[in-house]
Structure formats: structure tokens, C-alpha cells
Amino acid sequence: MKRVGLLGGTFDPPHLGHLVVAVEALDQLGLDEVRLVVANDPWQKSDERRVTPADVRFALVERAVEGLSGVVASDVEIERGGATYTIDTLERLTSVEPDTSWSVIVGADAAAGLETWHRADELRHRAEFVVVNRGDDERDAPAGWRSVRLSIPGIDISSTLLRGRVADGVGIRLLTPDAVIADIDRRGLYLRAA
């Protein structure tokens, strides 16, 4: 059975922190592949700020994973359209790839709140949850959830940091792949309104 990790996110923009998590999951857990699943409508964030269109964020993720064996961009949530939840994504993927075992990769902060996720009672049986421990945050998934811990090197990078640096005219080299930087520049993303 193929073992695939799903790392979902807004990826606005993708950065080295995302890639380190993906590669560490591949290596430490022996996964066959990790898919960076780009959210179509990141409903948790779209009320807070203007989110870059999904097709553009997907293109940035494609640039970010170029040359990374075993790490791929996934547009499964974009194809579905609308707001999507992890359970919906797992149902869709299982229907087209029934011989695949799924591992959902989440931060320790998100893992602590799994009981509040959409259709949590069904979700807990659909996949293994990989809980990424960053720094001192060593929370686990709630009792009754199949989970494993993934420790990664501490990398204090966020998409918010990158957007702010671009808006302030500060470089983002070495924080995201050069191909992503070139695409951000070409598209004029994250610049402050004049």
C-alpha cells in the first residue's frame, strides 16, 4: 500500500519551513510521497486579510517543489471548489486512490484542536495524523486519534513574515526557493498599495 502524507495550507507564499516539514516527513516516516495541498478557500484566513487567488498560490507551490523528489503540489481542493475540510479531501482522495494510506501532517497547535474539526468523529478513522513539534510545543493529538510525532529543526519562518518583507522591500532569499521569488516578482505579489 502506498503511504502518502498530506500537508495542507494556504501557502501564501510557500517557504522553506513548509519544505522542511515535507522532507522530514518523507525521511523520518518512510512515506512514499508528501503532497502540499493548496487550500481553495482558506476560510479561516479569508476574513482576516486578502488571500492571493488559489491558482496563483498553487503555481507558487509548484515552483517551490521543483526538484524535490517525493514532494509534489496538489490542487485537489482547488478542483473541488468552495470551502473544503480535511474530511472532504480525504473522502475524495480515497475514492480515486483506494490503495493509499493517508497521513495528515499538522502542527502541534492544530493537533490539539482536532476534536473541533469538521466531522471529527469520522475524520479520526480516515487517516493517521502526523503532529509536527516545533520548539517547545510538544502537544499531541487527542486520545483516540491515530498519531505519530514528527520532530523538525526549529525554523522560524512564516508566510506572514515573507509577505511583510516583500511589502517592505526587504529580500526573501534563502527563505523560499529562488523559483518562488522569481514568480512573486514577476506577478508583483505582496507589494504595498501605492
Q: Residues with Cβ < 8 Å from 193, sequence gap 6 or more?
A: none
Give the tens place of pLDDT for each residue, 154-175.
Answer: 888 999 999 999 999 999 999 9
Cβ(33)–Cβ(70) below 8 Å: yes
> CA angle 74-55-77, nearest 5°?
40
Section 99-105 average pLDDT: 98
Grid coordinates standing for 21?
516539514
Domain residue extents for the chain: 2-187
Is the pTM higher than 0.75? yes
Q: How far is CA 1 from the centre of its chain?
A: 23
Superfamily grouping for domain 2-187 = HUPs (3.40.50.620)
Give the tens place of pLDDT for each residue, 112-127.
Answer: 899 999 999 999 999 9
